Every structure is written in C-alpha cells, then in structure tokens.
A and B are shown apart, each in its own frame.
Chain A
Amino acid sequence: MTITIEYYLVLSAFMFLVGVAGVLIRRNAIVVFMCIELMLNSANLTMIAFASFLGSSVGQLFVFFVMTVAAAEAAVGLAIIIAIFRNKLTVNIDEINILKW
C-alpha cells in the first residue's frame, strides 16, 4: 500500500481539530498553550506534505520559519504564565477573571 498525500492531509486536519478542541475545552493555561503548539505543528505537517508532493522547497522553508516563531512565542508565553502565577498562584483560566463586565 502506498501512502498518498491524502493520508497526511487527513492526519494533520485531525491534529488541527484536536488542537482547536483542546484550546476550547481545557482550562489550564499551559495545556491550552500546548494545544496551540499542536495546531502550529499540524500546519507544519501539511506544509511538509505539500512540499514533498509538489516537489517545491518553499513549504519546507516555511516550516523553519514557523518553528522559529513558535519558539519565540513559547518564550514569551511561558514568561507571561510565570508572571501571572507569581501574582495569583494559579494558572487556571477560570480563576483568572478579575477583568469582567
């Protein structure tokens, strides 16, 4: 059996949906952040699959950019989570609710 591009696309779409569902359902800020990383990685997988299917290297290049940006985002995001933990001693987004109508 040969593995065609559809398999990769379905797998990455499934990963993306898991990520979206995780962001909407989970309440721990760090887990939510991990789900966002999952969404970015599913996009990377799509990009790699297309790059190999089309025989163009642009997609692979793009993945390097996405990984770099994700690393920068992770640095900032974890710093923000630490800052809020120092103030409030929790990272549960249901309890972080002083800004409310």
Chain B
Amino acid sequence: MYNNIQEFYNTLPLVIVAAGILISTVIEMYSNKSENFLSWFSIIVFLASGFYSLFTLDARSIVLQNMLATGGYVNIFHFIFTFSAAIVCFLSIDYLKKYDAYFGEYYILMQTSVLGMMMMAGAKDLFMIFLGLEVMSVSFYVLAGINRKRLTATESALKYFLLGAFATGFIVYGIALIYGTAQSTSFETITAKFSELSGNLLFLTGVLLFLIGFSFKIAAFPFHMWVPDVYQGAPSTVAGLFSTAGKAAAFSAIIVSLFVLFTSGAMRIITPYLSVISVLSMFFGSIVAIAQTNIKRMLAYSSISHAGYLIIGLAASNTEGIAGIIFYLAAYSFMNLGAFGIVSIIEGKEETNLELNSYRGLGTRQPLLAALLSLFMFSLAGIPPFAGFFGKYYIFIAAIEAKLTWLAILGVLSSVISVYFYLRLVVLMYFYDSSEQIEIEKSNSGLLAVFISAILVVLLGILPGSLLNLIISYL
C-alpha cells in the first residue's frame, strides 16, 4: 500500500474517479430519479480529477510497489481522458432523453472506463496495462450496446466484444511470452534487458503479439474491421468516447510500456512494421471515407486514417515524435468530440438524419451548428490555424528528424486526399439546398459541450507552442 501520505495525494486523480464510481452506484441504488443528478455528478467528478491532475504535473513519482507512475506526461493523459469524458457527459444529457434510453449504469460505466484508461496511462507493469485495458474494454462493450432494444446497438456491441476479446487474447499471450523470456513483468526490468533480449525469438514474438493486440485497440489498418460498424451502431455520444479517449488510452499504453525504448532509439527494429501499418491505415482510411454516405461511418474511417498519422510518431521513435503524439491526441480528441457532438445533436429519433444528404442546406437553417461543424471539419482536415494542423505538423517534423522523410511525404499526400471528404460536408451545408426540412431538437448542454471543444480547438491552433512545450518539459 502507500508508503506515505504524499503518494496518496499523487494518486488522487484515480482515487477521485474510483470514489465517484462507488458513490454513483449507491446513488443509483437508492434514487429513482438518478438521471439528472448522476450526469452532473459525473461531470463534477471528471472535472475535479482532470484539473487536479493538471495542477499536480510536478508530482512525479512511482507508487504502489513500482506499479503506477504519477505526474508528468501521465497527468496530461489523465486530463485528456477526464476532460473528453466530461464533454461526452454534457452531450449525453439530452441525447439519452431523445432516445429514451437512460439506464442507471450509463454514467457509472463511463467512470469505470475512464478509471481503466488512467490505469493504463500510468502503468509501470504489465499487470496494470492488462487490468486497465480490461476495465476500459469491458465497460466499452456494455456502453456500445447500452440502447439494448435497438438491433444496431446490440449488433455493434457484439462485434466490438468479439473482436475486442480476440485482441485481448493476443495481448495476454504476448505478455506471457514477454514474462517468460524477460523473467519479470516490470517495464523497468524489461527495458533494461531489451538489447540482450532483442535476439530472442520468443521475446520478439511476444512484443509483436502485444503490438498486434494494441493495433486492434487503436484501429490501425489490418485490424480495423470493427471500427465502422461499432461507431455506426453505438450511440453517437459513446462512439465519440471510443474514438477519442479510447484511442488516446491505447496509445498511452504503447507509449508508457515502450517509452524508454522509444526515446533511446532501441525501438528502431520495429520501425519497418510500424511504417507499413501507418501508411496502410492512412491511405485506406482516407480513400474509403470518400465512398461513405453515412456521417458516422465517414468519421470512423477518418479515425482509422488519424490512427495512421499517430503511428508515424511511433515509427519516428524519438522524443519529438512522442511529444507530437500527445499533442495530436489532445487536438484530435477535442475536434473529433466536437464533430460527434454535432452529429448527436442533429441526429433525430430512430437514427434518422445520419446521412450526409441530411446536412444539405444546414448553413441557412442552422447557421451556428453549421459554422461549428465546418470548424471541426477544417481542423480534422489539417487546415491552419486550427489544432489539427499543428498536430500533423509536429508529427511530420519528428518523422523528418528520424530520417523518415518518405513517411512524412506520404502522410501529407494522404491528408490531401482526406481534405476532399471533409470539405464535401462543408460544401453540402453551404452550397446546396434541400427541399425537406429536418427537425432538430434544441440541446443547450450539448451546445455548451460543442462550444468548449471549439474553443479548445481554436486555442490549441493559435497557441500550439504552449502545450507542446509543456509536454516536452514533462516527458
């Protein structure tokens, strides 16, 4: 357990969320009208935990018998997870009313999934990676099918569950082989022995299986097949959480487990594997997204191509690459949450208004929503001065410094392709007229969430250096 009280304070972000889970469960048991109360309670829990971790960046320590790291870039990840989850809670308030699909466990599961993500980001041991991953994934399987009377939601939950558990199998087997060859599950021991083990075939198989399992979780190319179906079938707010915080958590697990190797350059031996995966994800995502007619599927394919850009940072395997990934994850989380937020506001009952054609003429009928959605689309496409541009910029710079110029050029090419389908939505909204009027229910809390994301996207676009310097100084 804790050696002193300071260690307890350092783990307080996780403790707040864990306490929130217990209190919410009790509230849900004894209250008949938990819906309104629990949503605000979880927002408070998430914001308290997020801002506490942001203000204790200096509290760097390793606690709980070398199991968990706190402070530094781990806390930046905590902030990304909790803040995204808070935005999703804001969006969920009216979305769940629209579908009449409130179940008491919704907000509790959101808190458990965030706790799992935070365990992954701070992991110092394969135990923590495995437990955090499973706490997150099992909550996600239920959240995907939370609207259990709809066939689409249950189908997406089944697909997510089967493929997610399949990936877990790979990760556990990889962990078993790593443990057997390195004789330890602690990252410190494993990374210290890495160079002498890098000739051991069993060990390399273990690392490869571990990376394959995580490729499922980050939705990289050959292991992406679940992404479009799950994002389309799951409730839009939950899909927003999967694509932002879930992806950030999987990347945080890869970064923390291999961190020392990335910064020392020992990871170069798997650079070819990562480069191929990233090129395939980028181009597959961008090209297939062009053919989509459903906006949630389009955002799903765009999330596959964004996973490709992020893997460029891993392939570069230098400090700039890791800092670029963290910046990109922050930027991507807020712009994608904004986009999913607007989709969830415009979406009608019974999953209507999800086709790209329902966005025709939105510029004249809903000028505010259309303007905000265009902002997020510009940012996702990587057009300056929004956050998405600087995310890509830092990652491409890191690739060039690692002498992977060809990878950076392919990345730029792929983002040029992706401009087509992002801007097509903007063109549909402003330059086409539609005869049929779609009805949009007002949602003040949802609009507030979208506003917050928009402000963050613009701020990160205007002052990208402040966040990047913060990340670099705490790496």
A interface residues, Cβ below 8 angstroms from B: 16, 19-20, 23, 29, 32-33, 36, 39-40, 42-44, 46-47, 49-50, 53-54, 56, 58-59, 62, 65-66, 69, 72-73, 76-77, 79-81, 83-84, 87-88, 93, 96, 98-101
Contact A66 B172 (CB under 8 A): yes
A28–B53 Cα distance when bound, in Å, is 45
Interface residues of B in 362-412 (CB under 8 A from A): none
Q: Is B152 an interface residue (CB 8 A)?
A: yes
Contact A29 B162 (CB under 8 A): yes
Return chain B residues, CB-CB under 8 Å to A33.
162, 165
B interface residues, Cβ below 8 angstroms from A: 126-127, 130-131, 134, 138, 141-142, 145, 148-152, 154-159, 161-162, 165-166, 168-170, 172-173, 175-177, 179-180, 183-185, 228-229, 232-233, 291-292, 297
Return chain B residues, CB-CB under 8 Å to A39.
166, 169-170, 172-173
What are 18 A-B contacts with C-beta separation under 8 Å? A16-B173, A20-B169, A29-B162, A39-B169, A50-B179, A59-B179, A62-B179, A62-B185, A66-B172, A72-B138, A73-B165, A73-B168, A76-B138, A76-B141, A80-B141, A87-B151, A96-B158, A98-B152
A37–B92 Cα distance when bound, in Å, is 34
Contact A76 B154 (CB under 8 A): no
Contact B134 A72 (CB under 8 A): yes
Secondary structure class of chain B's binding surface, majority of residues: helix
Contact A58 B184 (CB under 8 A): yes
Contact B172 A80 (CB under 8 A): no
Return chain B residues, CB-CB under 8 Å to A73.
134, 138, 165, 168
Contact B142 A43 (CB under 8 A): no
A76–B113 Cα distance when bound, in Å, is 14
Most buried by A among B157, B162, B233: B162
Return chain B residues, CB-CB under 8 Å to A50.
176, 179-180
A16–B205 Cα distance when bound, in Å, is 13
Shortest CB-to-CB span from B30 to chain A, Å, is: 24
Contact A99 B152 (CB under 8 A): yes
A16–B209 Cα distance when bound, in Å, is 12
Contact A46 B131 (CB under 8 A): no
**Which residue of B is nearest A84, CB measured?**
B154
Shortest CB-to-CB span from B298 to chain A, Å, is: 11
List 8 additional A-B contacts (Cβ < 8 Å) besides A76-B142, A83-B145: A16-B169, A49-B180, A58-B184, A65-B130, A76-B141, A77-B161, A99-B156, A99-B228
